[in-house]
Homo-oligomer: A and B are copies of this chain.
Amino acid sequence: MKGFGGKYVPPRAMIAVTLAIAVLGWAMKQAIVVRTDVGMGTGKLAAQVAHASLSAVEQADSRRRDQWKRGGQKKVVLDGESERQLHELATIADQNGLPNAIIRDAGHTQLEPGTVTALAIGPAAEDAIDRVTGELSLL
């Protein structure tokens, strides 16, 4: 049997690794889509990503949350292009039962008050997240 880059791996070992991944949460992640069309500076952008991340973690049930943390709380930050796109992705996440949170900026600096800046989806199974955000590029 072939696996892991073509090296021979006995099937039983493959099953063990798969189980370990499932239990330890290596296959969990959170995706944060942040708008790059509104001209935020790096610090502002990072703060909005953190805001979204934390808010979506609070939406997640404790099982998902713990599993994700045990796996090193994997996060990917993705390039978002419009408010409309973020709302559409959030709707799909809702339809798939994935925890998610959209952030609106209070607008004290740089942006108009109420500007949608970021959307976080997950923590959830990596493949479930990819089905929603798989088309987007890493920032």
Of A16-24, A42-50, A127-135, the stretch lying at the interface with chain B is A42-50
Per the bound structure, the CA–CA distance linking A54 and B74 in Å amounts to 12
Q: Knowing A54-B53, A54-B57, say if A139 contacts B32 (CB, 8 Å).
A: no
Partner of A106, one of B49, B72, B139: B72
Per the bound structure, the CA–CA distance linking A40 and B43 in Å amounts to 13
Per the bound structure, the CA–CA distance linking A77 and B106 in Å amounts to 16
Residue A51, interface by CB 8 Å:
yes
Verify B73–A43 contact, CB threshold 8 A. Answer: no
Distance in Å from the Cβ of A6 to the closest Cβ of chain B? 20
Verify B138–A43 contact, CB threshold 8 A. Answer: yes
Verify A77–B46 contact, CB threshold 8 A. Answer: yes
Residue A93, interface by CB 8 Å:
no
Verify B73–A54 contact, CB threshold 8 A. Answer: yes
Please list the residues of chain A having a beta carbon within 8 angstroms of any beta carbon in chain B.
Answer: 32, 34, 41-47, 49-51, 53-54, 57, 72-73, 75-79, 106, 138-139
Apart from the given pairs A41-B139, A47-B77, A72-B106, 16 other A-B contacts in the complex at a CB distance below 8 Å: A32-B47, A32-B50, A34-B46, A42-B42, A42-B45, A43-B78, A43-B138, A45-B46, A46-B46, A46-B49, A47-B49, A47-B75, A49-B49, A50-B77, A51-B75, A54-B73
